Structure 1
Amino acid sequence: MEKRKHIWSLLFLLVLMAFTFFLLFRQLNIQDLMDTITGFEPVFLAAGMGMVVLFLCCEAFVFRIVLKGIDHPIRRISALVYAGIDFYFSCITPSANGGQPAQAYYMTKDGVPLSKSGITILVYGMMYKAVLLLFGMFALCMVPSYVFGESTLLMVLFLFGAVCDVAVFVLCLFAIFHPDCIRRPVYFCIHILAKLRLITDKEKAMVGAEKQLLEYHEASMVCKKTPNLVIKTFCITFVQRAIQFSIGYLVFRG
């Protein structure tokens, strides 16, 4: 039965990849693409590809650090697979929203408790938002005229994005350091799903949710007691985002 599940999962992935490439190349001339690629300077092309690998390795490193800190160490290859899953599903879903749910799904399939995969993704997401804010503020200080002098729409969008990032960052902090605050929303969602008959056994769902919340609380306590873990993940995420932005620069130079 387990082998059959793996086969179906692999087939689904292959179909999804085929569909993705079909959409990509449906209105794209492959010869034009090849001409563009061959027109790149080999050094910059190789450097860009290397940066993509480093980008994935940084995310894998963060996952290993966080999961080890909450007493669920994973292998390097598993962490790299989770990073690849995030990268792939983020690329093929609108607004890059599919990466983290896919990560949580595959981590759970591999035996990582949902509470621990959740806290790992949450810590990484929080660091991601913090680093983006830092880069945004740096860009604003370096070239303020680009934001405030070029277009009113650009200024509004920049400020709106900054406010949203701060709000998400604060919510992540609350979820990690005050996990009890998410208990009511979880119970409310279960109640709504039960009303819609999407959950048949409400009591069982409540017990399961409470168990996950307790595990989540234990994991969050580890984060509070080990600030070095948060500092390490922030530094690695900072390097990762710098690598990501450098890819665009290398493509431009190439």
Structure 2
Amino acid sequence: MKQQEGQRSVKKYIVLFILLVLVVTFIVLKGADIESVWNAMKNADPKWLTAGLGLAAVFNIAEGINLRKVLVSFGYRVSFKEAMKYAYIGYFFSSVTPSATGGQPLQLYAMSKDKIHVAHGTMALLTELTSFQIAAFLMENIAAFWILTGRIHLNKIMLILALVGYIMNLVFIAALMIVIISDRLKRKIVKGIRFLVMKLPFRHKEKMESKINDILHDFENCKDFFKKDPNLTLQVIGVSLVQIICWFSVPWAVYHAMGEAGSTFGSLFLHQIILYMTTALLPFPGAEGISEFSFVKLFAGMFSSVPVAAVVLVNRGISFYFLLILSGILGVVLGRFNGRSADQSGTKYKLQQETENGTGKILT
């Protein structure tokens, strides 16, 4: 019954996502000369378009590499093909569901079918997400420096969106650092949050407190992993940096594909970082609508010889829709490969049930 309900929810989200895409496309093209837009897209340089597709494809490949690295460290014999299956499934379902909530549950389901324990699968996904956020935050600090020094000027709306995105990621990184560095400070902060939850007029306070405990447990597991194998941690973060750099370089390829000249790689790259800051943490499926809006606000002045609507469609087509279609197809194709077993004798971490509260904990 639950599986059928889950399938219905996924289908509903996909239909809603398609409708949202159609609405956003209509808004982008509204008032534009369709013939000029089509001609600009048709005349785009295929070599640079191919380069853009290659840069975008690195996004999923990097996630697959990181998931494989972490799962192998737990002793599982995971092939690159299997790791890519998890990456493609995650990308597709994260893209079509609000706040990217659909990806990780289905990734864990795919892993469980391959006999990967849910605790190890969760740890792999959490580590990959954390390394990505760390890499993104490093880039965001570069963009923040350029904004604060006046080298990049943003209007009020874009500045607020970028600030919100930066603060949200800062809170995530700060929470992780607190858990890693100081148990005493962590306990004080958690105690303060719980006090606020109980005093303020929130509904479902017990559910909120349970959520806080779950988040804290995730951070603890991440801390244990990072401290246990720092070399692997650096490797995973390094892969995430390559992932971010390639993904944020797509506008540079699109810029040249559309026949433009004058703006440097650094300028295009920095504006893409800001675009990510304005959209990454908003609860829209695939950041639909807000991505197109932010792209126009940030990049319109850089593209002078072609309609901005054409640029939006090409850039979004490469950096998002291409990956979405690729993930959907390869997720299904690679999903046919199951039945791998874990190498129990090589497992570095064992799952121990805690008798006090019945939760699992990763221990050496």
Relative to the length of structure 1, the TM-score reads 0.67
Decide whether aligned partners of structure 1 residues 73 and 46 sit closer, same or farther in structure 2, where only a CA change above 3 A counts. same
Task: Tell me whether 1:135 sits opposite 2:139 in the alignment.
Answer: yes
Question: Which is bigger in relative contact order (C-alpha 8 A, separation at least 6)?
Answer: 2
Deviation per CA, 1:42-100, whole angstroms, max 9, x where unpaired?
01111111122222111111111111112223111111111112221232223434333
**How far apart are the structure 2 equivalents of 1:175 and 1:100?**
23
**How far apart are the structure 1 equivalents of 2:126 and 2:134?**
12
Correspondence for 1:201: none
Tell me the secondary structure at the aligned position of residue 145 of structure 1.
coil
Decide whether aligned partners of structure 1 residues 177 and 165 sit closer, same or farther in structure 2, where only a CA change above 3 A counts. same
Correspondence for 1:184: none
Alignment of 1:89-238 (within 5 A): 89-143=93-147, 144-145=149-150, 149-172=153-176, 221-238=224-241
Deviation at residue 163 of structure 1 after TM alignment: 2.2
Correspondence for 1:240: 243
Indicate if the aligned counterparts of 2:176 and 2:223 stay in contact, CA closer than 8 A. no
Task: Tell me whether 1:61 sits opposite 2:65 in the alignment.
Answer: yes
Question: What one-letter code is carried by the residue in structure 1 that aligns with 2:107?
Answer: Q
Decide whether aligned partners of structure 1 residues 163 and 27 sit closer, same or farther in structure 2, where only a CA change above 3 A counts. closer
Deviation per CA, 1:19-61, whole angstroms, max 9, x where unpaired?
75566457858x9787564332101111111122222111111
**How far apart are the structure 1 equivalents of 2:68 and 2:100?**
23
**How far apart are the structure 2 equivalents of 1:22 and 1:156?**
28
The structure whose residues are more often helix, as a share, is: 1
**How far apart are the structure 2 equivalents of 1:45 and 1:13?**
32
Task: Tell me whether 1:52 sits opposite 2:56 in the alignment.
Answer: yes
- 5+ residue gaps, structure 1: 182-191, 194-208
Equivalent pairs: percent with the same residue? 22
**How far apart are the structure 1 equivalents of 2:51 and 2:223?**
38
Deviation at residue 140 of structure 1 after TM alignment: 2.5
Indicate if the aligned counterparts of 2:94 and 2:101 stay in contact, CA closer than 8 A. yes
Question: What one-letter code is carried by the residue in structure 1 that aligns with 2:94?
Answer: S
Correspondence for 1:202: none
Relative to the length of structure 2, the TM-score reads 0.49
Provide the alpha-carbon RMSD of the alignment: 4.1
Deviation at residue 172 of structure 1 after TM alignment: 4.2
Indicate if the aligned counterparts of 2:13 and 2:96 stay in contact, CA closer than 8 A. no
Decide whether aligned partners of structure 1 residues 244 and 109 sit closer, same or farther in structure 2, where only a CA change above 3 A counts. same
Tell me the secondary structure at the aligned position of residue 249 of structure 2.
helix
Indicate if the aligned counterparts of 1:82 and 1:107 stay in contact, CA closer than 8 A. yes
| Count of paired positions | 221
**How far apart are the structure 1 equivalents of 2:130 and 2:75?**
20
